[in-house]
Amino acid sequence: MKPLKYLFFPILIVVFAALNSCGNIKNSKYITIGMVDGWAEDVAMTHVTKAILDQQGYHVIIQKASTDMILASMNNEDTDLFMGVWLPYTHAKKLAKFSDLVHLGTNYDNGRIGLVVPEYVTINSIEELNQHKEQFNHRIIGIEKGAGLTSGTDKAIVDYKLDYKQINSSTIAMITELQNAMQQKQWIVVAGWQPHWMFGKMKLKFLDDPKKVFGEAEKIKTYARKSFGKDHPELAKFFSKVHFDDQTMADLLIKMEQSKNKEATAQQWVEEHSELIKLWLDKN
């Protein structure tokens, strides 16, 4: 029995050391931020945040995944933050599954989702789509399956009794098809959102949504794992102050879309907006 007894204590020490190490990681300078690759505003805000925090001595790790996976990972305390939560409509049902997640701040106030067409298309409301279904080839070009915008588009098809099918693949594929159609002045309707760089580079408009299927103005918020504020109170205060107005968001999105090096562009943008960044970092 004595050999077993002596063996037990070293094992116990190793276990406690491992647990203590996990705790130290939670309280270290390593910060993990979930990001949905392809969401222009989320990619832009996340890279800007990484650039700021890297300068402050943190080591930021960006974890690319779907919204559902990011929220679940935060709920398990494995991911620290997510800056792309759209409320009160798009992500409300997804967020409701994880009641322990903590709201830190609002990054943007004027978010909008819905059905988008080129300005040269002569209709202005979702209710008019069935009158022109042949011109649109009975198709709404969507983004990834599982996105809040995708389920909203499915609901619009039902609620407006549209003789259309939503075609889903990816955000990049949707934008490519939109650009190709516009080059030939073809009629096309896509599931889109603002803020997005495509509104700065293409002449587009939202179709009116009288049934409010897609809701009204939305806010883009940062949520964190339950213990994040306790582990990093200084960062909880920082994220409560991060906010982009329409002009700064549009400027950032255009520069990021044109960039081949997102990290370098984010660093340059931070340098150009030093006064705004100082306000975000102010600890008062």
Asked whether the predicted pLDDT for residue 2 surpasses 70, the reply is no
Domain co-membership, 133 together with 197: yes
Regarding whether 202 and 124 lie in a shared domain, the answer is yes
Same domain assignment for residues 172 and 254: no
Tell me what the mean pLDDT of segment 30-54 comes to.
96
Do 142 and 63 share a structural domain?
no
Tell which phi-psi region holds residue 6, choosing left (phi > 0), alpha (psi between -120 and 50) or beta: alpha
Which tens digit of pLDDT belongs to each residue from 166-222? 999 999 999 999 999 999 999 999 999 999 999 888 999 999 999 999 998 899 999
Is residue 73 assigned to a domain?
yes
CATH code for the domain in which residue 264 is found: 3.40.190.10
pLDDT in tens, 113-134: 999 999 999 999 999 999 999 9
Residue 80 belongs to a domain: yes
Looking at residue 95, its pLDDT comes to 97
Please identify, among 161, 184, 206, the residue that sits at the C-terminal boundary of a domain.
206
* 154 is a domain residue: yes
Instruction: State the average pLDDT over residues 271-282.
Output: 96
Q: What is the pTM of this model?
A: 0.77
Domain-located, residue 212: no
Residue 108 pLDDT class (50, 70, 90 cuts): very high
* Residue range 271-276: mean pLDDT, rounded: 96
pLDDT given at position 283: 83
Q: Of 182, 206, 230, which residue sits at a domain end?
A: 206
CA neighbor of 82 nearest in space, from 55, 38, 45: 45
pLDDT at 11 over 70: no
Chosen domain end from 151, 186, 206: 206
Distance, CA of 20 to chain centre: 33
Q: Are 119 and 205 in contact (CB under 8 A)?
A: yes
Q: Concatenated DSSP letters for 178-238?
A: HHHHHHTT----EEEEES-THHHHS-EEEPB-TT-TT-S-EEEEEEE-TTHHHH-HHHHHH
Q: Is 15 part of a structural domain of the chain?
A: no
- Please check whether residues 271 and 140 belong to one and the same domain: no
Higher pLDDT pick, 148 / 71 = 71
Residue 85 has pLDDT above 60, yes or no: yes
CATH of the domain at 152: 3.40.190.100
Domain encompassing residue 125: 112-206
Query: Mean pLDDT, the chain, as a whole number?
Result: 90
Q: Would you place residue 158 in the very low, low, confident or very high pLDDT band (cuts 50, 70, 90)? A: very high
Q: Does one domain contain both 107 and 224?
A: yes
Average pLDDT over residues 250-277: 94
My answer on whether 119 and 168 are in the same domain is yes
